[in-house]
Amino acid sequence: SYELTQPPSMSVSPGQTASITCSGDKVGTKDVSWYQQKPGQSPVLVIYQRSTRPSGIPGRFSGSTSGNTATLTISGTQAMDEADYYCQAWYSSTVVFGGGTKLTV
């Protein structure tokens, strides 16, 4: 089975840049999506196709991939960005999620 690996947690000061990684086999060749989930809420799509922001998502969210790693970057992190973040990709007709990263601001 395929796995996507994320750091369980990370902490960033307000105004700083948070970079959340997602590693897995050939992730750099896949259309990786990222979701933000706040406590008690449904996940919200923040990045798809590696680097595309849906309408309504602030410009401080960006995505990139390289080799076996995808990265979600939040520039100028705000308190409202404190949440769990999940990466997601398709492997052989199966959807795989990373284990999630709890971002503390």
Partner 1 sequence: QVQLVQSGAEVRKPGASVKVSCKTSGYIFTGHYIHWLRQAPGQGLEWMGWVNSNTGGTNYAQRFQDRVTMTRDTSTSTAYMELNRLRYDDSAVYYCARYGGNSEFDHWGQGTLVTVSS
Cβ proximity to partner 1: between 24 and 98 the closer is 98
Contact (Cβ atoms closer than 8 angstroms) between residue 69 and residue 22? yes
Closest CB 59 distance from partner 1, rounded Å: 18
- Contacts with partner 1, residue ranges (CB under 8 A): 30-33, 35, 42-45, 48-49, 52, 54, 86, 88-90, 93-100
Least distance in angstroms from the C-beta of 42 to partner 1 = 4
Cα–Cα distance between 73 and 92 in angstroms, integer? 27
For residues 71 and 27, the answer to whether their CB atoms sit within 8 Å is no
